[in-house]
Structure 1
């Protein structure tokens, strides 16, 4: 009895595939929404493609913009993985059932704060890095204008900095929402909004991206930029005359996160990326990309320039409460009404 040619061909192809390395055998596609800086997104995706052979389509947007996109696409998801960006919108996405549970076998390699982020969301997101909030200033311009160096939140709301502060818009930026929630926890809600109205008079621009104010400080476009401190470190490492401040009153922090989008078309590839992105090798790519966050894998190298939490006065940031959809929506709505809409 003759063996059909198609069967022979299939058996030959299977035998050949078994002899090939994993990267050569891997097939498939993956769509990743990336919410860190472009300079980190691209080498991450390229390294994953090299390691697996899976083709990656990547879109870079801020945390707030990505959350809006995922919500808009809920009935017809186009993305598979959301990688990076502040944890608050990831937690909100989990609460809104926009992401799915996945318990990676890599969890036992992670710091407690990263695993805690996963537990709080029923394992619908996980921490991939952490970074403290603060501000930077252009030392050259400050000296030229003979303005005392700011060391506290209170300093940058003073008249000396009128029109000289940049910060992102919390509607589009997870960084800015972290600032909003930090000040409320640090000062109490009413004093925080009194402060934010005073700070508003000094703001020259609310940017879309949370990292943009650090770049504006580096070029002298603005004197002060409120960002995560690692974004300012990048500018300093590249030679910009900036000084970095962990505010004297205390400050909050982010747990940058990763989630698999509900309805992902490439679920197998999404889980493979998820596991890979939690590895020490993948997280080491941050150093090459001049990203100075603290990695979540205990075995990943920590850049020597990375701001250490032990050197900064940190608050006990309540991620569960301030990452909820209700509180996030309420705070941003109040900020829009009482701060952004106010006169300068």
Structure 2
């Protein structure tokens, strides 16, 4: 039976309406999120977020901490990001001082430990987890070279390690900056710079990524990489011949945090991201990789981390680190930047 023209037109119109309805039902808000999370974490973070908010699509913009921070500051007059999820708290404190963050108290934020949230009357950021400094020590390469396993930061200045240590550049790496700022807090200003001068004599190169020294150690390209615990533990789980060493003087650390960028056109979607970032589900996700998370009572022991990680973390003065970041980096670059990898 042939269809009349009017029936065909009606069917085409109906099909078009149904198609448009389907598209509308699956329409998503795109949220541009700047981050310094490790690349392999991004898919899981987005997937878990979408379980709660399937209507929001995260478009990640990922780079090292220093580069993301510099990018956000450069875009101050014309913000391109909607939110930040996974950037050092010291960086967010700088952005807060520049009045670049939207104030918002996510639902459930008071369930977080006080040290993992902005306790201002109008909070601008929320903490996620702590990442802490550590050494990645390649046992096979060290044995070939006759290198003993270091147990302290001071050990790294011994002549036997000359040319066998790789470290992140603090200007581009959040891990590098937490190391430098923690040494200045641990040893004091004068002794801290003296320590870094002696350490510099043994450094082979400074990388622009906090995880790269550990990756180089895992690959046997250096016996010792100054890096952070998550990367060492994850590579060791994959079979790398690494010992993850936690220097006995204490561990520098920083807090990964999240915030809304002021001026976003997707404010409601960004608020939902913050609500998820402080949720129990999110903290359980953080705990898959980090031994210390923002919500008390959630964290379970992580393989290859110390049993008591919080007791090893220094009393980090985040405000001091943020306020002095520019001066610290300028001094560091004047003294040590000659061994940095090309940008």
What TM-score results when the alignment is normalised by the length of structure 1?
A: 0.85
What does residue 302 of structure 1 align with?
300
By how many angstroms is 1:312 displaced?
5.0
After superposition, residues 1-344 of structure 1 pair within 5 angstroms as 27-50=28-51, 51-115=53-117, 118-119=118-119, 123-286=123-286, 291-298=289-296, 300-305=298-303, 306-310=305-309, 312-324=311-323, 327-341=324-338
- Aligned equivalents of 1:237, 1:342: Cα separation in 2: 31
313-322 or 119-128, which deviates more: 119-128
Give 3-state SS (helix, strand or coil) of 2:312's partner: coil
SS at match of 1:284: helix
- Partner Cα distance (1:337, 1:45) in 2: 40
* Alpha-carbon distance in 2 for matches of 1:121, 1:250: 32
Distance 1:86 1:277 in 2: 15
CA displacement, residues 20-79 of structure 1 (integer Å, 9 cap, x when unaligned): xxx967742211112110111222123323432212211111111111111111121111
CA deviation after TM superposition for structure 1 residue 220, in Å: 0.9
Displacement after TM superposition at 1:265 (Å): 1.9
Alpha-carbon spacing, 1:313–1:303, altered in 2? closer, same or farther (3 Å): closer
- Conserved 8 A contact 1:140-1:241: yes
CA 1:65–1:234 in 2, change beyond 3 Å: closer, same or farther? same
- For structure 1, list consecutive stretches of 5 or more residues without a partner in the other structure: 1-12, 18-22
Is 1:82–1:259's contact at 8 Å kept on the other side of the alignment?
A: yes
- SS at structure 1 position matched to 2:332: helix
2:68 and 2:310 map into 1 onto residues whose CA distance is 32
Which ranges of structure 2 fall in alignment gaps of 5 or more residues?
Answer: 1-17
Contact 1:81 1:270 in 2 (8 A): yes
Q: Tell me the distance in 2 between the aligned counterparts of 1:319 and 1:95.
A: 13
Aligned alpha-carbon RMSD (Å) = 2.6
Cα separation, partners in 2 of 1:179 and 1:80, compared to 1, 3 Å: same
Q: Distance in 2 between matches of 1:164 and 1:191?
A: 23
Q: Is the 8 A contact 1:128 1:255 kept in 2?
A: yes
Number of equivalenced pairs:
320
The 2-side partners of 1:309 and 1:335 are apart by: 32
**DSSP-derived class of the 1:194 partner:** helix
Distance, in Å, in 1 between the alignment partners of 2:130 and 2:241 is 25
Normalising by structure 2, what TM-score?
A: 0.85
Structure 2: how far apart are the matches of 1:98 and 1:153? 36
Distance in 2 (alpha carbons) for counterparts of 1:64 and 1:205: 18
User: Is the alpha carbon distance of 1:60 and 1:275 closer, same or farther for their aligned partners in structure 2, counting shifts above 3 Å?
Assistant: same
Higher radius of gyration, 1 or 2: 2
Larger displacement relative to structure 2 (311-320 or 161-170):
311-320
**What is the alpha-carbon distance in structure 2 between the residues aligned to residue 93 and residue 192 of structure 1?**
27
Task: Say if 1:29 and 1:56, in contact at 8 Å, map to a contact too.
Answer: yes
Shift of 1:309: 4.3
Deviation, structure 1 residue 274:
0.9
Say if 1:142 and 1:122 are closer, same or farther in 2 by CA, change over 3 A. farther
Cα shift at 1:102: 1.1
